[in-house]
Structure 1
Amino acid sequence: MRLRPLALLSTVAVSALLLTGCSDSAAPEPSSTDSTASGDVCEQVAKPGTVSDSVTVEGDFGAVSTAKFELGQDVTELQRTVVTEGDGAKIKEGAYVSYALSAFDVATGDRVGDVGYVSGELLPQQVLADPTLAQVIGCASVGSRLAAVFPGQEGGAGAQVYVVDVLDTVPLAAWGEDKPAAEGMPEVKLAKNGEPAVSIPDGDAPAELKVSVLKEGDGEPVADGDTTLLQYFGVNWADGKSFDSSWSRGEPISIPGNTYVPGFVQALEGQKAGSQVLVVIPPELGYGDQASEAIPANSTLVFVIDILATQHAPAAQ
């Protein structure tokens, strides 16, 4: 038996995704999301049921828990009950949420698995990007513990109880401590929402990779092979024009295994979540002599990268 789709990026799922190979784009299009969840998240929440109401939980919030309930109950639809109400802000439409869960088999009471309790094990997920997530976590307060019950196959086999801890929401821009840029680097100015604007200095582009931390975060550091949730703003050194930006799309991106161009990946490694990194990438660590409509051959690229979260590859967890 396995965990249900609430654990959208479990360690098992990420392990499989990493086998798909590298992307040839520094900033690929984000994958399309299911748009069936829309409107007020409070209207999408699954209703309590006899099974979810009967669940009692032992264990501290934010740690692996144990659930007790009557075994073998019939489950025909998704149920959600608030076990304990948190004192944080309520989850709003479009929020990216960090959560952890323990899962149990309804028929036997056996533990199916636990995920999200170890730092760097799960990426935050956008509530409205997945209908199941909206039904379970939507409208809950940060700090809440929830009991969710998933129906099984026809005849009831495979039904599961989830104990879900709503840990936090993640800002959509870097929140770390401001640091001065290294000498000779492009100038970065931020709008109120955190979106950057970049001014290229006079003179030739540097021949080597240059990295400058503009904000130093306090979160989990990025390791080799990680998958990060990030915002980026890309500029061509030659003309100072932006060729691509997650900000223009209105949402951060995450690419399994951080399969960006080498200079982009090197700028991420070792940086902590919450950091903003300015990187100048020479052609050989970017696209080299490959050309596209937006990026001429042998271009030196400039990126401002906000690292919002990281999920470690399974071997690093």
Structure 2
Amino acid sequence: MRLKQALEAGQFAITAEVMPPRGADVSAALAHARRLRGLVHAVNVTDGSRAVMRMSSLALCRLLLDAGIEPVLQLACRDRNRIALQADLLGAHALGIRNLLCLTGDPVRAGDQPGARPVNELEAVRLLQQVSDFNRGADPVQGVLPDGPTDLFAGAAADPHSPSWIGLQRRLARKQAAGARFLQTQMVMDAVRLRRFVEELAAPLGLPVLAGVFLLKSARNAAFINRVVPGACIPQAVIDRLAAAANPADEGISIAAEQVAAYAGIAQGVHLMAVKAEERIPLILERAGVGALGIPA
């Protein structure tokens, strides 16, 4: 459990996101993940991100383990009732998956099947509580799990750019009380805002923070994200920099690398998101001066 060990030891940690395929062929996703071996502590596998159909996160996480790569299982409440969530938690533990990111899940209306029926019986805080119950050996019906407690390392998501600072503070406190062991943020574009988030909200709760770094491909891509992604706030100066670049894709790599280097002095780690361009993550880390297993140069 390299990620858990790094975070608990106060070391700088790096995770990177890989999406399961929209189909049954995992070769491309596994190829992306293999390029990250030795560069990140764990590979985070999305679970129906933006309410778009993808292969099961649980399945890809198991395949990553088979390939010698530590996974982080994302588990969203949107599509499952409590029985299904409990089943997936126990199944993940049986398969050797220990890292978990507990999510409420993006709304169905944001996806490509808006007519689908959401479940949302639980949300992130109550899912974290269920993990904590399993970790102490509690059975929700019979009192005690017959095979003993689980050993899941659960984290939660957070948005440092939330417009309600007090609301964010209260929700983080609830997540910490429910059993969150670390925080993974949405994309962060403002180092000052990130520092305030870490120092005023996360640190008092004893929660290490993985700051979200998102790879932008072009000015058009950045403007699109600002329009359609809830809470996205890419500064106009960044969009202008991409628009003026001779090679916007390469400029996006440099911007992400600068963020990794800057956030290394603020948060305990970073979480890299390079949707449909995961092959560029090693170059981001190289330009950021980050060595093997997330050690800043």
TM-score, length-normalised on structure 1?
A: 0.28
TM-score, length-normalised on structure 2?
A: 0.29
More strand per residue: 1
